[in-house]
Structure 1
Amino acid sequence: MVSTRDRADTPVARRTQAQRSAAMRQRLLDATVECLVTYGYAGTTTHRVAELAGVTRGAQIHHFRAKEDLVIAAIEHLAEQRARAVVRELSRLHESPDPAATVLEFLWEAHQGPFFVATLELWIAGRTDPVLAGHVQRVEPVVNGAMFAAIDSLLPDRSDDKELRYVLYTAMDALRGILVAGFVDDDPGRARRRWNRACSKLNEDLRKALAQEGMASA
């Protein structure tokens, strides 16, 4: 057994400059996501990000000289975090006798939380900022790829089917529209009820696509 004194005398490995720099960058990017969620894109400023990250303006400027630099890095950071969130949500799902309903529920869960809200702020801002829009378009395939890879694990050998992909994209488009409308709704449960209503039709389409794929591979 190691005594308290032995532990106290054991030298603690000091982080390298690269590790400290990476940790600082992570804090700034996490703070940018928090700022986007709390204040929106217009209210996201380098001063607020530095304050939320608990770092000096000098440290923030050392890593990101301007808001544009910070936001571009945050876009990539968000894409990575959203892809990881997809994997986490997938781990919560169990085998289900109703794969169509399972996939639709998975899509709902994968679009919840601050990462989607922050991403939505960037999508909207990109409407009038073509440079920002270009960066968003560049990373979205990363997230969609993670989404379909997760669905592929739920529906082995099926997610590459074109008809199934069309249904899934339609489901995501419908879900995102419902969630956007929900941001200005005073009833927090209405978005979920609207999604449940949409699922009654989407579930039917998804079942048909799965059945067609099953027949094609038989």
Structure 2
Amino acid sequence: MGAPARSPAPDLAPGLAPRSDRAPKQDRSRATRQRLLEAAVSCLAELGWAGSTVTVVAVRAGVSRGAAQHHFPTREDLFTAAVEHVAEQRSAALRALPRQPRPAAVAAIVDLYTGPLFRAALHLWVAATDEPQLHARVTELEARVGRESHRITVELLAADESVPGVRETVQGFLDMARGLGLATLLTDDTPRRTPVVTHWARILDRALG
């Protein structure tokens, strides 16, 4: 007599691979998706909306165009997901700033607004003005990021918003930081920006007490 037939493993369903096989595939799929999102963000920061095609993003991510379209069937799908990725990374970067003396905190916040994540966000804003599918998502996420940025900045600057004028002072600083970020799109504005940030740190120190 031959050996008795083995029963199928209890965790298998017809047509499905074993869990040990599925897990690596899922991990690879998540890794590919992450590479595509990061490539989309870097393309936006460097090439702008017009230069950031699915093919360009796929090449930068090191995957085929077919693999890119498997995860994001259309360009709008890819960059709508990139919008959320940029928003999450900007919030995470701001949350990760350590507590430090106010002048250092001011400089660190401005660095975030003049770095590649904010440049990518600026290109998304421009693209959203002409792309209805992006407009609603960009508007929604920027409102959320704006609220969180203000809240975290208040904490980092040890500002007391119960004092009249403090909220407006903090918001004015963030608006200034965005303006400095916009200036970096055209040229390296570091030589001019450094003394401006130092001066603003002194202004904030006096205004916030």
**Aligned position for 1:30:** 38
Q: CA deviation at 1:161?
A: 6.1
CA–CA separation in structure 2 for the residues paired with 1:132 and 1:16: 33
**Aligned position for 2:74:** 66
**Aligned position for 1:167:** 169
Deviations 1:116-156 (CA, angstroms, capped at 9, x unpaired): 11111111222333442321111123323442343344356
Q: CA deviation at 1:167?
A: 1.5
The farther-off stretch of 147-156 and 177-186 is: 147-156
Q: Which runs of no fewer than 5 residues in structure 2 stay unpaired?
A: 1-19
Q: CA deviation at 1:28?
A: 0.5
Matched, 1:110 2:112: yes
Pairing partner for 1:151 from 147, 150, 153: 153
Q: CA deviation at 1:47?
A: 0.2
Contact kept in structure 1, 2:40 and 2:82, CA below 8 Å? yes
Q: Which has the higher contact order (CA 8 A, sep 6+)?
A: 2
- Larger Cα-atom Rg: 2
Q: CA deviation at 1:191?
A: 2.9
**Aligned position for 2:6:** none
CA–CA separation in structure 2 for the residues paired with 1:69 and 1:104: 36
CA–CA separation in structure 1 for the residues paired with 2:86 and 2:32: 16
2:129 maps to a residue whose letter is: R
CA–CA separation in structure 1 for the residues paired with 2:160 and 2:188: 39
Q: Which runs of no fewer than 5 residues in structure 1 stay unpaired?
A: 1-12, 212-218
1:191–1:182 Cα change, 3 Å:
farther
Q: CA deviation at 1:42?
A: 0.9
Q: How many residues align?
A: 189
CA–CA separation in structure 1 for the residues paired with 2:92 and 2:60: 23
C-alpha root-mean-square deviation of aligned residues, in Å?
A: 2.7
1:24 maps to a residue whose letter is: T
Deviations 1:87-107 (CA, angstroms, capped at 9, x unpaired): 23x22x43x3xx4x3542242
Q: What's the TM-score, normalizing by structure 1?
A: 0.73
1:24–1:156 Cα change, 3 Å:
same
**Aligned position for 1:185:** 187
Q: What's the TM-score, normalizing by structure 2?
A: 0.76
Q: CA deviation at 1:35?
A: 0.9
